[in-house]
Structure formats: structure tokens, C-alpha cells
Amino acid sequence: YCHVGRLSHEVGWKYKAVVRTLENKRKVKSIVEVRKRDSIK
């Protein structure tokens, strides 16, 4: 079992940090949307 990002980084892919930053932003936006949706109900 491995993570594609880590494996790619090990073979020379240089965007692991960028993807991590974007993924964190996506997770925050997702949490906000879920809370907004739940508050409407």
C-alpha cells in the first residue's frame, strides 16, 4: 500500500508540496460547504 504522491515524489516529481497545499484548501472548502448545507436543513 502506498500513496501515489509520495511514490511520484520519490521518482522525481517536484509538485508534492503544491498538491498538499491545494488538497488542504479543498478540504477546508468542503467542510465549509457541508456545514452550510447542514445549517440550511
- Per 3-state DSSP, what percentage of the chain is helix, strand, and coil (rounded to 5)? 80, 0, 20
Domain that holds residue 23: 4-40
* pLDDT score of 20: 87
pTM score > 0.85 for this model? no
* pLDDT score of 31: 97
Q: What are phi and psi of 12, to 5 degrees?
A: 120, 0
Provide the domain count of the chain.
1
* pLDDT score of 19: 85
* pLDDT score of 7: 85
pLDDT tens for residues 1-37?
678 878 888 899 888 888 889 999 999 999 999 999 9
Eight-class DSSP state of 23? H
The C-alpha atoms of residue 22 and residue 24 are separated, in whole angstroms, by: 5
